[in-house]
Amino acid sequence: MYIKRNISQIFQKARALFPVCVLTGARQTGKSTFLQNELKNYRYVTFDDPIQRDFATSDPAGFIQSSRNETGTVLDEIQYVPHLLQYIKMEVDRHRVPGQWILTGSQQFHLMKNIGESLAGRAVLLDLAPFCYAEIDSNDCLEEVLWKGFYPEPALHPEKRDLWISSYLQTYLERDIRQLGNIVDLHSFETIVKLCAARHGQELNMASLSRESGVAVATVKKWIALLESCYLLFLLPPFHSNLGKRVVKSPKLYFMDSALAAYLTHQPSPDSLLAGSMGGQFFEGFIVIEAVKHFFNRGKKPDLFFWRSHDGLEIDLLVQNGSMLHPVEIKKSTTPKPAFTTPLNQFRKIAEKEYRIEDGLLVCQTESPVALPHRNQAIPWRQFSSWLDAQSTPGSSSMTLDI
């Protein structure tokens, strides 16, 4: 059964406007399934097929001619044949038809660089993340949701979880990402990945990672950037502004999927995942990444930040919508307490002279919404996606890149 993806609306809009649409995202997020269901009359070619890859490499002009389809053509995993982009450009310049070429890739940095150089003004870029909670609409408890994660295969077939994750990490980390980054020392690279998983929901400290792994800081920085560009990590930037206090300037590190982080940190069960020492980090990461997916699914840049001063004041998540800032606190607790909103109140006092600060939000495990003092509200975690939808208004910064 095909599950409709929330990115469909912006994808179809982009396809109607641009001759080339590029859909990026980690492997196994459902890009191929999405396109095969959304574009049933398109010709579909994957460069995972060595025969197609060799054809495109040895005779790119002939490949383009043979791949043309009246409706349109999907070229899957285009990063394997980056030289082909120049020939797509020439074909687009001869026949500028909206939606003619749909490209997919699993590595953002190199793909964006090549597309920016070859297809400027001709292409639009969108990101497909794993399922968001609203797409699977699960009745599972929070522990099970975090345990299964949101990649389609383990989310829909949880009996495959452990074997699927093991295989995924082996093929994606040890083969694809390693090759893309020209990584020779696989053991050290795997150590960095595991250390990042243990820091899920914490500030990124390159020097600390370097000390614990024995890897040079410059190499750690390069590998973190690689993992981010391959959609395994998300770095939540700090909110920089002159608010009368020195603020932390390092980003916070999150795995894009809770199941991968749980597997790499050897969580033994769903219950222990949430009840253990990292339970708060897993819950916070889930909410933050849901916000990231919300922006991706609308073709927008994630205008998301955290804020922490050196004297201990912290806001877990700031959602920016145009000129508005929505401060969000994330607590694993089932009982909303006014004390949880203290950071929201303090931040509002500090920032309201310079910014429009909306009502504060506490996301927790309460069963129903609860009004809290001083313009704050607590909502159940299941309603966070609906809350994000309610905040979306025209005019927020778009991620639909004409590149």
The secondary structure element, H or E, covering residue 125 is strand 123-127
Model confidence band, residue 403 (pLDDT cutoffs 50, 70, 90): very low
pLDDT at residue 113 in the model: 65
Residue 109's pLDDT band (cuts 50, 70, 90): low
> Cβ(293)–Cβ(287) under 8 Å?
no
Q: Give the strands of the sheet with 202-203, arranged side by side.
A: 202-203, 252-255, 233-236
Same domain, 155 and 279: yes
113 domain-assigned: yes
**What average pLDDT does the segment 147-170 reach?**
95
Angle at alpha carbon of residue 364, lines to 361 and 366, rounded to 5°? 110
Report which DSSP code applies to 214: T
154 & 122 share domain: no
Nearest to residue 118, comparing CAs of 211, 12, 19? 19
**Orientation of helix 186-198 relative to helix 206-213, angle to 10°:** 130
**123 and 142 inside one domain:** no
Last residue of a domain, one of 128, 156, 176: 128
More confident residue, 112 or 296: 296
pLDDT tens, residue by residue, 333-342: 999 999 999 9
Say if residues 76 and 47 touch (Cβ distance below 8 Å): yes
Residue 377 bridge partners (DSSP): 361, 371
192 and 91 belong to one structural domain: no
- Is 284 in the same domain as 145? yes
Neighbour-count burial for 228-244, b at 16+ CB within 10 Å, e otherwise = bbbbbbbebebbeeebe
Dist CA 112 CA 76 (whole Å):
15
Read off the CATH number of the domain in which 272 is found. 1.10.10.10
Contacts of 226 (CB under 8 A, 6+ apart): 109, 177, 180, 181
Q: State pTM to two decimals.
A: 0.92
One-letter amino acid of 222? K
Q: Which residue has the tokens 């910014």?
A: 355
In terms of domains, do 12 and 122 share one?
A: yes
275 pLDDT higher than 50: yes
Indicate if 311 and 255 belong to the same structural domain.
Answer: no
**What Å distances lie between residue 53 and 58, 79, 263, CA to CA?**
9, 11, 33
Domain of residue 361 covers 305-397
The pLDDT mean for the chain works out to 90
Return d(Cα 76, Cα 49) in angstroms, integer: 10
Closest CA to 31 of 47, 13, 51, 55: 47
Whether the CB-CB separation of 372 and 343 falls below 8 Å is answered with no
Does residue 35 form part of some domain?
yes
Q: Are residues 122 and 147 in the same domain?
A: no
pLDDT tens for 239-268 read: 976 655 556 679 999 999 999 999 999 999
Domain boundary among the residues 98, 128, 158 is at 128
Alpha-helix residue ranges (DSSP H) falling in 243-400: 258-264, 270-275, 279-296, 342-351, 384-391
CA 137 from centroid of its chain's CA atoms = 19
Shared domain for 109 and 162, answered yes or no, is no
Beta bridge partners of 203: 252
Residues 113, 145, single domain; the answer is no
- CA–CA distance, 264 with 233 (Å, rounded to integer): 13
Can you give the CATH number for the domain in which 124 is found?
Answer: 3.40.50.300
Q: Which residue has the higher pLDDT, 217 or 229?
A: 217
Given this model, what pLDDT does residue 249 score? Answer: 79
